[in-house]
Structure 1
Amino acid sequence: MMRMAAFQMQPVCGDAGANLARIGHAAKAAAKAGADLLVAPELALTGYGAGEAITALAEPANGSQIDQLRSISKANAIAIVAGFAERDGDHVYNSAALVCGDTRPAIYRKSHLYGDYERALFTPAKPASCIVQLAGLKLGMLICYDVEFPENVRRLAQAGAQMILVPTALPAGPSGDFIAAHMIQVRAFENQIFVAYVNHAGSDERFTFAGLSRIAAPDGSLIAACTDANEQLFFADIDRHAFAASIDGNPYLKDLTRI
Protein backbone atom coordinates (compact mmCIF):
# COMPACT_ATOMS: atom_id res chain seq x y z
CA MET A 1 0.00 0.00 0.00
CA MET A 2 1.16 3.51 -0.75
CA ARG A 3 0.00 6.60 1.14
CA MET A 4 0.01 9.71 -1.00
CA ALA A 5 -0.51 13.36 -0.21
CA ALA A 6 -1.96 15.82 -2.74
CA PHE A 7 -1.18 19.50 -2.27
CA GLN A 8 -3.83 21.75 -3.83
CA MET A 9 -1.46 24.69 -3.74
CA GLN A 10 -1.61 28.41 -4.42
CA PRO A 11 1.88 29.24 -5.73
CA VAL A 12 3.41 32.69 -5.75
CA CYS A 13 3.81 33.73 -9.38
CA GLY A 14 7.42 34.29 -10.36
CA ASP A 15 8.94 33.28 -7.01
CA ALA A 16 10.46 29.81 -7.14
CA GLY A 17 12.05 30.23 -3.71
CA ALA A 18 8.73 30.97 -2.03
CA ASN A 19 7.09 28.05 -3.81
CA LEU A 20 9.84 25.62 -2.84
CA ALA A 21 9.39 26.75 0.76
CA ARG A 22 5.64 26.06 0.56
CA ILE A 23 6.30 22.62 -0.87
CA GLY A 24 8.84 22.05 1.90
CA HIS A 25 6.22 22.79 4.58
CA ALA A 26 3.74 20.49 2.83
CA ALA A 27 6.35 17.73 2.53
CA LYS A 28 7.08 17.93 6.25
CA ALA A 29 3.38 17.69 7.12
CA ALA A 30 2.82 14.88 4.61
CA ALA A 31 5.76 12.86 5.90
CA LYS A 32 4.54 13.32 9.47
CA ALA A 33 1.20 11.84 8.36
CA GLY A 34 2.98 8.80 6.93
CA ALA A 35 2.85 9.65 3.21
CA ASP A 36 5.28 8.07 0.76
CA LEU A 37 4.57 10.64 -1.97
CA LEU A 38 3.56 14.29 -2.26
CA VAL A 39 2.10 15.65 -5.52
CA ALA A 40 1.99 19.40 -6.26
CA PRO A 41 0.36 21.13 -9.27
CA GLU A 42 1.47 22.01 -12.80
CA LEU A 43 4.22 24.69 -12.82
CA ALA A 44 4.15 24.71 -9.03
CA LEU A 45 7.68 26.11 -8.86
CA THR A 46 7.03 29.15 -11.06
CA GLY A 47 3.30 29.69 -10.76
CA TYR A 48 1.11 28.96 -13.76
CA GLY A 49 0.13 32.55 -14.58
CA ALA A 50 3.62 34.05 -14.30
CA GLY A 51 3.74 34.70 -18.06
CA GLU A 52 7.12 35.74 -19.47
CA ALA A 53 8.70 35.30 -16.04
CA ILE A 54 8.33 31.56 -16.62
CA THR A 55 10.89 31.79 -19.43
CA ALA A 56 13.32 33.64 -17.16
CA LEU A 57 12.84 31.08 -14.37
CA ALA A 58 13.20 28.03 -16.63
CA GLU A 59 16.06 25.75 -15.58
CA PRO A 60 17.48 22.43 -16.77
CA ALA A 61 16.48 19.29 -14.93
CA ASN A 62 19.83 19.35 -13.14
CA GLY A 63 19.42 22.99 -12.10
CA SER A 64 19.12 24.51 -8.64
CA GLN A 65 15.31 24.28 -8.41
CA ILE A 66 15.23 20.51 -8.84
CA ASP A 67 18.29 20.16 -6.60
CA GLN A 68 16.38 22.02 -3.87
CA LEU A 69 13.33 19.83 -4.47
CA ARG A 70 15.55 16.76 -4.07
CA SER A 71 16.91 18.17 -0.81
CA ILE A 72 13.35 18.63 0.49
CA SER A 73 12.58 15.06 -0.53
CA LYS A 74 15.66 13.69 1.20
CA ALA A 75 15.19 15.72 4.38
CA ASN A 76 11.63 14.48 4.79
CA ALA A 77 12.08 10.95 3.38
CA ILE A 78 9.24 11.46 0.91
CA ALA A 79 9.03 11.38 -2.89
CA ILE A 80 7.75 14.57 -4.50
CA VAL A 81 6.18 15.39 -7.86
CA ALA A 82 6.04 19.06 -8.86
CA GLY A 83 5.63 20.99 -12.09
CA PHE A 84 8.42 23.28 -13.30
CA ALA A 85 9.62 25.09 -16.42
CA GLU A 86 12.43 23.00 -17.91
CA ARG A 87 15.04 24.60 -20.15
CA ASP A 88 16.83 22.36 -22.63
CA GLY A 89 18.98 24.39 -25.00
CA ASP A 90 16.72 26.79 -26.90
CA HIS A 91 13.57 24.98 -25.80
CA VAL A 92 11.45 25.44 -22.69
CA TYR A 93 9.12 22.60 -21.70
CA ASN A 94 6.19 22.47 -19.32
CA SER A 95 7.54 19.62 -17.22
CA ALA A 96 7.02 17.67 -14.03
CA ALA A 97 9.78 16.14 -11.93
CA LEU A 98 9.47 13.14 -9.65
CA VAL A 99 12.27 13.30 -7.10
CA CYS A 100 13.11 10.77 -4.42
CA GLY A 101 16.12 11.67 -2.33
CA ASP A 102 19.44 11.07 -4.05
CA THR A 103 18.03 9.01 -6.92
CA ARG A 104 18.01 10.52 -10.38
CA PRO A 105 14.84 12.59 -10.99
CA ALA A 106 12.27 11.30 -13.45
CA ILE A 107 11.19 14.08 -15.84
CA TYR A 108 7.99 14.20 -17.87
CA ARG A 109 7.37 16.88 -20.50
CA LYS A 110 3.84 17.96 -21.43
CA SER A 111 2.90 16.86 -24.95
CA HIS A 112 -0.45 18.61 -25.42
CA LEU A 113 -0.19 22.34 -24.77
CA TYR A 114 -3.42 24.19 -24.00
CA GLY A 115 -4.26 27.46 -25.72
CA ASP A 116 -2.22 30.37 -27.03
CA TYR A 117 -0.85 31.15 -23.57
CA GLU A 118 1.02 27.84 -23.25
CA ARG A 119 2.00 27.68 -26.91
CA ALA A 120 3.71 31.06 -26.63
CA LEU A 121 5.82 29.87 -23.70
CA PHE A 122 6.59 26.20 -24.27
CA THR A 123 7.70 23.62 -26.82
CA PRO A 124 5.39 20.60 -27.00
CA ALA A 125 7.10 17.29 -26.32
CA LYS A 126 6.44 14.06 -28.16
CA PRO A 127 4.03 11.80 -26.23
CA ALA A 128 6.09 9.61 -23.91
CA SER A 129 5.57 6.94 -21.29
CA CYS A 130 7.40 7.99 -18.13
CA ILE A 131 6.88 5.28 -15.50
CA VAL A 132 8.52 5.08 -12.06
CA GLN A 133 8.22 2.38 -9.41
CA LEU A 134 7.49 3.63 -5.89
CA ALA A 135 6.20 1.83 -2.81
CA GLY A 136 5.23 -1.21 -4.86
CA LEU A 137 3.29 0.71 -7.52
CA LYS A 138 4.16 1.66 -11.09
CA LEU A 139 3.45 5.37 -11.46
CA GLY A 140 3.01 7.21 -14.76
CA MET A 141 2.92 10.97 -15.26
CA LEU A 142 0.88 13.34 -17.40
CA ILE A 143 0.26 17.08 -17.10
CA CYS A 144 -3.17 18.74 -17.17
CA TYR A 145 -4.54 18.81 -20.76
CA ASP A 146 -2.67 15.57 -21.53
CA VAL A 147 -5.16 13.55 -19.45
CA GLU A 148 -8.08 14.84 -21.51
CA PHE A 149 -6.86 12.75 -24.43
CA PRO A 150 -7.77 9.13 -23.65
CA GLU A 151 -4.92 7.89 -25.84
CA ASN A 152 -2.35 9.27 -23.38
CA VAL A 153 -3.83 7.46 -20.40
CA ARG A 154 -4.32 4.24 -22.35
CA ARG A 155 -0.69 4.32 -23.54
CA LEU A 156 0.54 4.48 -19.95
CA ALA A 157 -1.87 1.80 -18.79
CA GLN A 158 -0.72 -0.51 -21.58
CA ALA A 159 2.88 0.18 -20.57
CA GLY A 160 2.09 -1.14 -17.10
CA ALA A 161 1.25 1.99 -15.09
CA GLN A 162 -1.03 1.28 -12.14
CA MET A 163 -1.50 4.92 -11.18
CA ILE A 164 -1.17 8.16 -13.13
CA LEU A 165 -0.11 11.38 -11.43
CA VAL A 166 -1.48 14.51 -13.10
CA PRO A 167 -0.27 17.91 -11.88
CA THR A 168 -2.76 20.35 -13.41
CA ALA A 169 -3.83 23.98 -13.71
CA LEU A 170 -7.54 23.50 -14.35
CA PRO A 171 -9.38 26.83 -14.73
CA ALA A 172 -12.66 27.60 -13.02
CA GLY A 173 -15.80 27.37 -15.17
CA PRO A 174 -18.27 24.84 -16.60
CA SER A 175 -15.64 23.00 -18.64
CA GLY A 176 -13.32 22.67 -15.67
CA ASP A 177 -16.14 21.49 -13.44
CA PHE A 178 -17.06 18.79 -15.96
CA ILE A 179 -13.48 17.56 -16.32
CA ALA A 180 -13.03 17.29 -12.56
CA ALA A 181 -16.47 15.86 -11.84
CA HIS A 182 -16.61 13.27 -14.63
CA MET A 183 -13.59 12.84 -16.88
CA ILE A 184 -11.01 11.92 -14.24
CA GLN A 185 -13.13 9.10 -12.84
CA VAL A 186 -13.87 7.82 -16.35
CA ARG A 187 -10.15 7.75 -17.18
CA ALA A 188 -9.55 5.66 -14.06
CA PHE A 189 -12.43 3.28 -14.77
CA GLU A 190 -11.79 2.70 -18.47
CA ASN A 191 -8.16 1.80 -17.77
CA GLN A 192 -8.63 0.16 -14.35
CA ILE A 193 -5.98 2.34 -12.73
CA PHE A 194 -5.73 5.10 -10.12
CA VAL A 195 -5.61 8.71 -11.29
CA ALA A 196 -4.41 11.53 -9.02
CA TYR A 197 -5.39 14.94 -10.41
CA VAL A 198 -3.83 17.78 -8.40
CA ASN A 199 -4.82 21.35 -9.21
CA HIS A 200 -3.94 24.90 -8.19
CA ALA A 201 -5.89 26.70 -5.51
CA GLY A 202 -7.34 30.20 -5.70
CA SER A 203 -6.19 32.54 -8.45
CA ASP A 204 -3.07 34.27 -9.76
CA GLU A 205 -2.37 37.32 -11.92
CA ARG A 206 -4.00 35.80 -15.00
CA PHE A 207 -6.16 32.81 -14.05
CA THR A 208 -8.77 31.63 -11.56
CA PHE A 209 -8.55 27.93 -10.82
CA ALA A 210 -11.24 25.35 -10.18
CA GLY A 211 -9.47 23.54 -7.35
CA LEU A 212 -11.46 20.28 -7.15
CA SER A 213 -8.36 18.08 -6.94
CA ARG A 214 -9.22 14.41 -6.70
CA ILE A 215 -7.93 10.86 -6.62
CA ALA A 216 -9.97 8.29 -8.50
CA ALA A 217 -9.83 4.51 -8.12
CA PRO A 218 -10.00 1.73 -10.73
CA ASP A 219 -13.72 1.22 -10.09
CA GLY A 220 -14.40 4.89 -10.90
CA SER A 221 -15.00 5.91 -7.30
CA LEU A 222 -13.34 8.84 -5.58
CA ILE A 223 -11.11 7.88 -2.69
CA ALA A 224 -10.20 11.50 -1.89
CA ALA A 225 -11.28 14.89 -3.24
CA CYS A 226 -11.38 18.62 -2.63
CA THR A 227 -14.81 20.20 -2.91
CA ASP A 228 -13.60 23.78 -3.38
CA ALA A 229 -10.65 25.88 -4.62
CA ASN A 230 -8.98 26.54 -1.25
CA GLU A 231 -5.39 25.55 -0.59
CA GLN A 232 -5.26 22.25 1.23
CA LEU A 233 -3.25 19.09 1.77
CA PHE A 234 -5.19 15.85 1.62
CA PHE A 235 -4.37 12.15 1.67
CA ALA A 236 -5.29 8.83 0.10
CA ASP A 237 -4.20 5.27 0.75
CA ILE A 238 -3.59 3.51 -2.56
CA ASP A 239 -4.28 -0.23 -2.29
CA ARG A 240 -4.59 -1.88 -5.67
CA HIS A 241 -5.63 -5.18 -4.09
CA ALA A 242 -8.76 -3.54 -2.68
CA PHE A 243 -9.99 -3.08 -6.27
CA ALA A 244 -9.13 -6.56 -7.55
CA ALA A 245 -12.80 -7.39 -8.20
CA SER A 246 -13.22 -4.31 -10.39
CA ILE A 247 -10.00 -5.02 -12.27
CA ASP A 248 -11.02 -8.64 -12.88
CA GLY A 249 -14.60 -7.72 -13.79
CA ASN A 250 -13.72 -4.98 -16.25
CA PRO A 251 -10.74 -6.37 -18.21
CA TYR A 252 -10.62 -3.60 -20.82
CA LEU A 253 -6.88 -3.78 -21.42
CA LYS A 254 -6.89 -7.55 -21.83
CA ASP A 255 -9.88 -7.54 -24.13
CA LEU A 256 -8.47 -4.69 -26.22
CA THR A 257 -5.70 -7.00 -27.42
CA ARG A 258 -8.31 -9.43 -28.79
CA ILE A 259 -9.78 -6.92 -31.22
Structure 2
Amino acid sequence: MQIRACQLDAETGDAKARMAAIRWLTGDAASDGADVVVFPELALTGYGAGDEIRDLAETIDGPTVAELQRLADEHGIAVITGLALREAQGVVNAALVALPRRKPIVYAKQHLYGDYEKALFTPGRVPSGLFEIAGMKAAVLVCFDVEFPERVRELAVAGAEIVFVPTALPASDGARFVAEKIVPVRAFENQIFIVYVDHVGSDARFAYQGLSCIAAPDGTRITAAPDDQFAILSASIDRADYAESRVQNPYLAELAAHRDR
Protein backbone atom coordinates (compact mmCIF):
# COMPACT_ATOMS: atom_id res chain seq x y z
CA MET A 1 0.00 0.00 0.00
CA GLN A 2 1.21 3.47 -0.93
CA ILE A 3 0.27 6.00 1.76
CA ARG A 4 0.25 9.79 1.69
CA ALA A 5 -0.38 11.58 5.02
CA CYS A 6 -0.78 15.38 5.10
CA GLN A 7 0.03 17.30 8.28
CA LEU A 8 -1.91 20.53 7.69
CA ASP A 9 -1.06 23.99 8.99
CA ALA A 10 -3.77 25.19 11.39
CA GLU A 11 -3.67 28.55 9.59
CA THR A 12 -4.73 27.03 6.26
CA GLY A 13 -7.81 29.29 6.27
CA ASP A 14 -11.57 28.99 6.09
CA ALA A 15 -13.56 25.99 4.89
CA LYS A 16 -13.25 27.02 1.25
CA ALA A 17 -9.45 27.31 1.48
CA ARG A 18 -9.22 24.01 3.30
CA MET A 19 -11.22 22.18 0.66
CA ALA A 20 -9.01 23.71 -2.01
CA ALA A 21 -5.92 22.42 -0.19
CA ILE A 22 -7.42 18.95 0.18
CA ARG A 23 -8.39 18.97 -3.48
CA TRP A 24 -4.83 19.83 -4.57
CA LEU A 25 -3.12 17.44 -2.14
CA THR A 26 -5.39 14.57 -3.21
CA GLY A 27 -4.58 15.09 -6.86
CA ASP A 28 -0.87 15.32 -6.08
CA ALA A 29 -0.98 12.12 -4.02
CA ALA A 30 -2.80 10.26 -6.78
CA SER A 31 -0.30 11.46 -9.39
CA ASP A 32 2.48 9.94 -7.27
CA GLY A 33 0.69 6.59 -7.15
CA ALA A 34 -0.71 6.73 -3.62
CA ASP A 35 -3.56 4.36 -2.76
CA VAL A 36 -4.79 6.55 0.10
CA VAL A 37 -4.38 10.14 1.28
CA VAL A 38 -5.08 11.05 4.91
CA PHE A 39 -5.87 14.42 6.52
CA PRO A 40 -6.26 15.49 10.18
CA GLU A 41 -9.27 15.60 12.50
CA LEU A 42 -11.82 18.27 11.50
CA ALA A 43 -9.62 19.16 8.54
CA LEU A 44 -12.51 20.78 6.66
CA THR A 45 -13.11 23.50 9.28
CA GLY A 46 -10.08 23.41 11.55
CA TYR A 47 -10.28 21.96 15.05
CA GLY A 48 -10.40 25.29 16.87
CA ALA A 49 -13.29 26.85 14.94
CA GLY A 50 -15.70 26.38 17.87
CA ASP A 51 -19.41 26.88 17.22
CA GLU A 52 -18.69 27.40 13.52
CA ILE A 53 -17.95 23.68 13.33
CA ARG A 54 -21.53 22.88 14.31
CA ASP A 55 -22.90 25.59 12.04
CA LEU A 56 -21.07 24.16 9.02
CA ALA A 57 -21.86 20.51 9.76
CA GLU A 58 -23.71 18.78 6.93
CA THR A 59 -25.35 15.41 6.55
CA ILE A 60 -23.58 12.62 4.72
CA ASP A 61 -25.55 13.46 1.57
CA GLY A 62 -24.41 17.11 1.65
CA PRO A 63 -22.05 18.85 -0.79
CA THR A 64 -18.86 18.40 1.26
CA VAL A 65 -19.03 14.61 1.32
CA ALA A 66 -20.10 14.66 -2.33
CA GLU A 67 -16.96 16.62 -3.22
CA LEU A 68 -14.71 14.25 -1.26
CA GLN A 69 -16.32 11.29 -3.00
CA ARG A 70 -15.87 13.00 -6.35
CA LEU A 71 -12.15 13.38 -5.63
CA ALA A 72 -11.86 9.71 -4.73
CA ASP A 73 -13.71 8.65 -7.88
CA GLU A 74 -11.87 11.02 -10.21
CA HIS A 75 -8.39 10.19 -8.96
CA GLY A 76 -8.90 6.53 -8.04
CA ILE A 77 -7.61 7.09 -4.52
CA ALA A 78 -9.08 6.61 -1.05
CA VAL A 79 -9.54 9.91 0.81
CA ILE A 80 -9.69 9.83 4.62
CA THR A 81 -10.36 13.01 6.56
CA GLY A 82 -11.89 14.31 9.73
CA LEU A 83 -15.02 16.46 9.54
CA ALA A 84 -18.18 17.27 11.49
CA LEU A 85 -21.33 15.51 10.31
CA ARG A 86 -24.92 16.07 11.30
CA GLU A 87 -26.60 12.78 12.19
CA ALA A 88 -29.94 11.91 13.77
CA GLN A 89 -28.45 11.86 17.27
CA GLY A 90 -26.62 15.17 16.82
CA VAL A 91 -23.39 16.54 15.36
CA VAL A 92 -20.54 14.02 15.48
CA ASN A 93 -16.78 14.39 15.17
CA ALA A 94 -16.29 11.97 12.32
CA ALA A 95 -13.70 10.31 10.14
CA LEU A 96 -14.93 9.96 6.59
CA VAL A 97 -13.54 7.34 4.21
CA ALA A 98 -14.27 8.06 0.55
CA LEU A 99 -13.36 4.99 -1.50
CA PRO A 100 -13.40 5.09 -5.30
CA ARG A 101 -16.80 4.16 -6.68
CA ARG A 102 -18.10 2.95 -3.32
CA LYS A 103 -20.44 4.35 -0.71
CA PRO A 104 -18.61 6.60 1.80
CA ILE A 105 -17.86 5.14 5.22
CA VAL A 106 -18.36 7.19 8.39
CA TYR A 107 -16.98 6.57 11.85
CA ALA A 108 -18.02 8.86 14.74
CA LYS A 109 -15.42 9.52 17.45
CA GLN A 110 -16.35 7.58 20.58
CA HIS A 111 -14.13 9.28 23.18
CA LEU A 112 -14.59 13.06 23.14
CA TYR A 113 -11.73 14.97 24.72
CA GLY A 114 -12.46 17.66 27.30
CA ASP A 115 -15.23 20.20 27.71
CA TYR A 116 -14.52 21.79 24.32
CA GLU A 117 -15.42 18.68 22.32
CA LYS A 118 -18.20 17.59 24.66
CA ALA A 119 -19.95 20.94 24.16
CA LEU A 120 -19.81 20.58 20.37
CA PHE A 121 -20.40 16.91 19.64
CA THR A 122 -22.39 13.82 20.44
CA PRO A 123 -20.15 10.80 21.07
CA GLY A 124 -20.27 7.90 18.65
CA ARG A 125 -21.55 4.57 19.91
CA VAL A 126 -20.66 2.23 17.05
CA PRO A 127 -17.23 0.59 16.70
CA SER A 128 -15.26 1.31 13.55
CA GLY A 129 -15.98 -1.13 10.74
CA LEU A 130 -13.43 -2.72 8.42
CA PHE A 131 -12.90 -1.83 4.77
CA GLU A 132 -10.25 -2.70 2.21
CA ILE A 133 -7.58 -0.55 0.57
CA ALA A 134 -4.95 -2.04 -1.74
CA GLY A 135 -5.63 -5.54 -0.43
CA MET A 136 -5.26 -4.62 3.25
CA LYS A 137 -8.00 -4.65 5.88
CA ALA A 138 -8.30 -1.16 7.34
CA ALA A 139 -10.25 0.82 9.92
CA VAL A 140 -10.36 4.35 11.31
CA LEU A 141 -10.32 5.97 14.74
CA VAL A 142 -10.22 9.67 15.64
CA CYS A 143 -7.51 11.23 17.84
CA PHE A 144 -8.23 10.46 21.53
CA ASP A 145 -9.72 7.08 20.56
CA VAL A 146 -6.27 5.67 19.77
CA GLU A 147 -5.07 6.39 23.30
CA PHE A 148 -7.49 3.74 24.59
CA PRO A 149 -5.87 0.33 24.07
CA GLU A 150 -9.30 -1.29 23.94
CA ARG A 151 -10.29 0.62 20.80
CA VAL A 152 -7.23 -0.47 18.84
CA ARG A 153 -7.26 -4.02 20.15
CA GLU A 154 -10.88 -4.61 19.14
CA LEU A 155 -10.03 -3.57 15.58
CA ALA A 156 -6.95 -5.80 15.47
CA VAL A 157 -8.94 -8.76 16.79
CA ALA A 158 -11.55 -8.10 14.11
CA GLY A 159 -8.82 -8.39 11.49
CA ALA A 160 -7.61 -4.83 10.85
CA GLU A 161 -4.08 -4.65 9.47
CA ILE A 162 -3.88 -0.85 9.38
CA VAL A 163 -5.72 1.88 11.33
CA PHE A 164 -5.94 5.46 10.09
CA VAL A 165 -6.21 8.12 12.80
CA PRO A 166 -7.04 11.72 11.87
CA THR A 167 -6.10 13.76 14.95
CA ALA A 168 -5.93 17.27 16.41
CA LEU A 169 -3.42 16.86 19.22
CA PRO A 170 -2.75 20.13 21.09
CA ALA A 171 0.89 20.73 21.93
CA SER A 172 2.15 19.70 25.39
CA ASP A 173 4.73 17.41 26.96
CA GLY A 174 2.03 14.77 27.30
CA ALA A 175 1.02 15.18 23.67
CA ARG A 176 4.59 14.63 22.51
CA PHE A 177 4.62 11.40 24.51
CA VAL A 178 1.39 10.29 22.80
CA ALA A 179 2.71 10.97 19.31
CA GLU A 180 6.21 9.60 19.81
CA LYS A 181 5.57 6.71 22.23
CA ILE A 182 1.93 5.66 22.61
CA VAL A 183 1.10 5.48 18.90
CA PRO A 184 4.09 3.22 18.07
CA VAL A 185 3.25 1.04 21.09
CA ARG A 186 -0.33 0.64 19.86
CA ALA A 187 1.08 -0.56 16.54
CA PHE A 188 3.53 -2.92 18.27
CA GLU A 189 1.13 -4.49 20.77
CA ASN A 190 -1.43 -5.17 18.03
CA GLN A 191 1.00 -5.98 15.21
CA ILE A 192 -0.62 -3.48 12.84
CA PHE A 193 0.23 -0.23 11.07
CA ILE A 194 -1.09 3.07 12.38
CA VAL A 195 -1.26 6.26 10.31
CA TYR A 196 -1.55 9.19 12.75
CA VAL A 197 -2.13 12.60 11.15
CA ASP A 198 -2.18 15.85 13.14
CA HIS A 199 -2.39 19.58 12.51
CA VAL A 200 0.60 21.84 13.18
CA GLY A 201 0.91 25.52 14.09
CA SER A 202 -1.83 27.47 15.86
CA ASP A 203 -5.37 28.71 15.40
CA ALA A 204 -7.39 31.07 17.59
CA ARG A 205 -7.80 28.45 20.35
CA PHE A 206 -5.04 25.86 20.21
CA ALA A 207 -1.44 25.18 19.29
CA TYR A 208 -0.89 21.73 17.78
CA GLN A 209 1.80 19.15 18.36
CA GLY A 210 2.42 18.01 14.80
CA LEU A 211 4.61 14.87 14.88
CA SER A 212 2.31 12.97 12.52
CA CYS A 213 3.69 9.51 11.82
CA ILE A 214 3.25 6.13 10.21
CA ALA A 215 4.01 3.44 12.79
CA ALA A 216 4.80 -0.18 11.96
CA PRO A 217 4.11 -3.52 13.70
CA ASP A 218 7.67 -3.62 15.07
CA GLY A 219 7.10 -0.33 16.92
CA THR A 220 9.18 1.82 14.60
CA ARG A 221 7.96 5.05 13.08
CA ILE A 222 8.55 4.45 9.38
CA THR A 223 8.27 8.16 8.77
CA ALA A 224 7.43 11.12 10.98
CA ALA A 225 6.71 14.83 10.55
CA PRO A 226 8.29 17.67 12.54
CA ASP A 227 6.47 19.55 15.27
CA ASP A 228 6.68 22.97 13.66
CA GLN A 229 5.68 22.92 9.99
CA PHE A 230 3.37 21.61 7.30
CA ALA A 231 4.56 18.22 6.09
CA ILE A 232 3.67 15.48 3.65
CA LEU A 233 4.57 11.93 4.63
CA SER A 234 4.85 9.15 2.09
CA ALA A 235 5.43 5.46 2.71
CA SER A 236 5.11 2.13 0.96
CA ILE A 237 4.11 -0.64 3.34
CA ASP A 238 3.87 -4.40 3.01
CA ARG A 239 2.49 -6.54 5.82
CA ALA A 240 4.81 -9.37 4.79
CA ASP A 241 7.88 -7.31 5.68
CA TYR A 242 6.92 -7.63 9.37
CA ALA A 243 6.32 -11.39 9.50
CA GLU A 244 9.24 -11.85 11.89
CA SER A 245 7.77 -9.28 14.27
CA ARG A 246 4.54 -11.26 14.40
CA VAL A 247 6.50 -14.43 15.19
CA GLN A 248 8.39 -12.76 18.01
CA ASN A 249 5.36 -10.92 19.41
CA PRO A 250 2.34 -13.22 18.90
CA TYR A 251 -0.06 -11.25 21.10
CA LEU A 252 -3.20 -11.77 19.02
CA ALA A 253 -2.49 -15.45 18.42
CA GLU A 254 -1.98 -16.00 22.15
CA LEU A 255 -5.22 -14.18 22.96
CA ALA A 256 -7.09 -16.38 20.50
CA ALA A 257 -5.51 -19.51 21.97
CA HIS A 258 -6.40 -18.38 25.49
CA ARG A 259 -10.05 -17.91 24.51
CA ASP A 260 -10.14 -21.43 23.07
CA ARG A 261 -8.76 -23.14 26.17
TM-score past 0.5 threshold? yes
1:118 partnered with 2:112: no
Q: Are 2:8 and 1:20 equivalent residues in the alignment?
A: no
TM-score, L = length of structure 1? 0.96
Partner Cα separation in structure 2 for residue 12 and residue 144 of structure 1: 20
State the SS of the aligned residue for 2:232.
Answer: strand
Secondary structure, aligned partner of 1:98: strand
CA deviations on 1:181-211 (whole Å, 9 max, x unpaired) are: 1000100000000011000121111000000
Q: Is 1:152 paired with 2:151?
A: yes
> CA–CA distance in 2 between the matches of 1:231 and 1:44?
13
Cα-to-partner distance string for 1:131-179 (whole Å, 9 max, x where unaligned): 1111010111000000000000000000000000000001111011000
- Choose 159-168 or 118-127, whichever is displaced more: 118-127
Equivalent residue runs for 1:179-218 within 5 Å: 179-218=178-217
Q: Which residue of 1 aligns with 2:127?
A: 128
Q: In structure 2, the residue corresponding to 1:177 is in which secondary structure?
A: helix
Equivalent AA in structure 1 for residue 21 of structure 2: R
Amino acid at match of 1:170: L
**TM-aligned CA deviation for residue 16 of structure 1:** 2.3
Q: How far is 1:125 from its partner? A: 1.0
* Bigger mean CA offset, 221-230 vs 109-118: 221-230
> TM-score under structure 2 normalisation?
0.95
Q: Tell me how far apart the structure 1 counterparts of residues 44 and 64 of structure 2 sit (CA, whole Å).
A: 8
Q: In structure 1, how many angstroms separate the alpha carbons of the residues matched to 2:53 and 2:213?
A: 26
Cα deviation for residue 34 of structure 1 reads 1.2
CA distance in structure 2 between the aligned counterparts of 1:105 and 1:11, rounded to whole angstroms:
26
**How far 1:32 moved relative to its partner?**
1.7
Paired residues for 1:33-48 under 5 Å: 33-48=32-47
1:129 to partner: Cα distance: 2.7
Contact 1:162–1:194 at 8 Å: present in 2 too?
yes
> Given residue 83 of structure 1, which amino acid in structure 2 is its aligned partner?
G
Task: Give the corresponding residue for 1:176.
Answer: 175
Identity of aligned residues (%): 48
1:243 is matched with which residue? 242
**Is the CA contact 1:36–1:78 (under 8 Å) kept in the aligned structure 2?**
yes
| 1:213 maps to amino acid | S
Report deviation, 1:14: 7.7
The Cα RMSD (Å) is 1.3
Instruction: Output the CA distance in 2 between the equivalents of 1:36 and 1:51.
Output: 33
Q: Provide the residue aligned with 1:63 in structure 2.
A: 62
Q: Is the 8 A contact 2:149 2:186 kept in 1?
A: yes
- Cα separation, 1, equivalents of 2:140 and 2:216: 16
Q: Which residue of 1 aligns with 2:79?
A: 80
What is the letter of the counterpart of residue 114 of structure 1? Y
Unaligned runs of 5+ in 1: none
How big is the shift at 1:127? Answer: 4.5
Q: Which secondary structure does the structure 2 equivalent of 1:196 belong to? A: strand
User: 1:58-115: per-residue Cα shift (whole Å, max 9, x none)?
Assistant: 1111211010111122222211001110101350000011002331001110000000
Provide the C-alpha distance between the structure 2 equivalents of 1:229 and 1:126, rounded to a whole number of angstroms. Answer: 34
Q: 1:65 to 1:88 in 2, by over 3 A?
A: same
The residue aligned with 1:104 is 103
Give the Cα separation in 2 of the matches to 1:131 and 1:11: 30
C-alpha distance in structure 1 between counterparts of 2:113 and 2:126, whole Å: 15
Verify the 8 A CA contact 1:97 1:107 in the aligned structure 2. Answer: yes
Count of residue correspondences = 258
SS state of the match for residue 104, structure 1? coil
One-letter amino acid of the structure 2 residue matched with residue 180 of structure 1? A
How much does 1:248 deviate?
Answer: 1.9
Alignment check: 8 A CA contact 2:109 2:141 kept: yes
| Contact kept in structure 1, 2:11 and 2:201, CA below 8 Å | no
Q: Which residue of 2 aligns with 1:164?
A: 163
